[in-house]
Amino acid sequence: MPSQNRITKYLKPSEHFARSVHLERDFSDTMALDQYVVTEKINQLFGQFATAFGDGSTERAWRITGD
């Protein structure tokens, strides 16, 4: 395929979005969350955390896995 017809010539996502945030690796990195996009799923997760740590909650165990 000739290089002038490659899709990468037209679509160049920011390098910043090529990696995810890794809690252990990025905890002390103040730049790790710059331009982080908070998705609806993350909003739901934070809401569940807020509820779980609220007064009267009986939720005590969490497992976070996946992408």
- Summarised one tens digit per residue, pLDDT across range 10-67 is 777 666 656 666 778 888 888 877 777 788 988 998 898 888 888 998 887 878 777 6
- Whether residue 58 is contained in a domain is answered as no
Q: Which pLDDT score is estimated for 44?
A: 92
Q: How far is Cα 10 from Cα 12, in angstroms, rounded to an integer? A: 6
Q: Which domain holds residue 15?
A: 3-52
Number of structural domains (the chain) is: 1
Q: How far is Cα 46 from Cα 35, in angstroms, rounded to an integer? A: 18
Structure tokens at 27: 């905890």
Q: How far is Cα 8 from Cα 61, in angstroms, rounded to an integer? A: 44
Q: Which pLDDT score is estimated for 9?
A: 76
Q: Which pLDDT score is estimated for 7?
A: 78
Q: Which pLDDT score is estimated for 15?
A: 65
pTM: 0.47
Q: How far is Cα 58 from Cα 65, in angstroms, rounded to an integer? A: 21
Q: Which pLDDT score is estimated for 3?
A: 58
- Whether residue 41 is contained in a domain is answered as yes
Residue 29 in contact with residue 21, Cβ under 8 Å? no
